[in-house]
């Protein structure tokens, strides 16, 4: 297994729309395993392939405290969403350290395939409903901060770009022998 590099907002690759998976093979199984390992190490509760610069419709989710209930959703689609909405403070591995309220349907039914291509449906509520909708947004090229006001979004973008520049300078100093 391998840890994958998680793209950080505002990387433009996060806005690519993922293509459906057509080959259910060892490569897909390895991608799902690598994504799961990356998500657990981050640590997170969900990861979309888009976030690791693979633009295919694959999501891994495990919302348990014990990290022992991994679900892989391949080609997921929401087939039903409740009219009832809920606001949940969301965070994202691609937007580290930022959390804000996003309103979404409180319950959804998702149809997907597993890594072998077998179809399944899952009814989701609470944190799982939030997580699956959040990750499916990634597959459509949307990051949760896009639900926020333009002012908040710009502040977040500027903060993350500033952090990235500081990290780059620090890495350059280390590479130059600590000068």
For the chain, 179 residues long, give each residue's pLDDT as a single digit of tens. Answer: 688 999 999 999 999 999 999 999 999 999 999 999 999 999 999 999 999 999 999 999 999 999 999 999 999 999 999 999 999 999 999 999 999 999 999 999 999 999 999 999 999 999 999 999 999 999 999 999 999 999 999 999 999 999 888 888 887 888 887 65
Looking at residue 171, its pLDDT comes to 78
Contact yes or no for 93/73 (Cβ under 8 A):
no
Contacts with 44 (C-beta within 8 Å, 6 or more apart), sequence order: 93
pLDDT at 179: 56
Domains of the chain: 12-174 (3.90.45.10)
Q: What's the pLDDT at 26? A: 98
pLDDT of residue 108: 98
Binding-site annotation: residue ranges for Fe cation: 92, 134, 138
> Look-up: residue for tokens 């293509």?
19
Report pTM: 0.93
Binding site listing: 92, 134, 138
Q: Which of 90, 103, 123, 135 is labelled catalytic?
A: 135
Q: What is the pLDDT of residue 173?
A: 81
Backbone angles phi, psi at 70, to 5 degrees: -70, 130
The pLDDT value recorded for residue 35 is 98
Q: Residue 94: which of 129, 124, 49 has the closest Cα?
A: 49
- Tell me the Cα Rg of the chain: 17
Phi–psi pair at 5, nearest 5 degrees: -80, 125
Catalytic residue flag (residue 121) = no
Q: How far apart are CA 44 and CA 110, in angstroms?
A: 21
Q: Specify the pLDDT at position 1.
A: 64
Report helix, strand and coil shares of the chain as percent, to nearest 5. 40, 30, 30
pLDDT of residue 178: 63
Q: Contact at 8 Å (CB) between 128 and 48?
A: no
Q: How far is CA 77 from CA 24, 37, 45, 129, 136, in A?
A: 17, 24, 19, 13, 8
What does the block give as tokens for 126?
């609470």
28 within 8 A of 74, measured Cβ to Cβ:
yes
d(CA 71, CA 63): 10
| Helical (H) or strand (E) element with 161 | helix 150-175
């Amino acid at each position: 297994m391998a840890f994958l590099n998680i793209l950080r907002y505002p990387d433009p690759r996060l806005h690519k729309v993922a293509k459906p998976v057509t080959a259910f093979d060892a490569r897909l199984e390895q991608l799902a395993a690598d994504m799961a390992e990356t998500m657990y190490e981050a640590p997170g509760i969900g990861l979309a392939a888009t976030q690791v610069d693979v633009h295919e419709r694959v999501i891994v989710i495990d919302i348990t405290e014990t990290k022992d209930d991994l679900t892989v959703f391949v080609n997921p689609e929401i087939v039903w969403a409740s009219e009832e909405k809920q606001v949940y403070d969301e965070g994202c591995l691609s937007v580290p350290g930022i959390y804000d309220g996003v309103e979404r349907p409180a319950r959804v039914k998702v149809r997907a395939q597993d890594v072998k291509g077998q179809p399944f449906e899952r009814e989701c509520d609470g944190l799982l409903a939030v997580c699956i909708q959040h990750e499916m947004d990634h597959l459509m090229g949307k990051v949760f901060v896009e639900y926020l006001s333009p002012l908040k979004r710009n502040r977040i973008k500027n903060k993350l770009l500033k952090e990235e520049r500081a990290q780059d300078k620090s890495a350059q100093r280390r590479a130059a022998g600590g000068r």
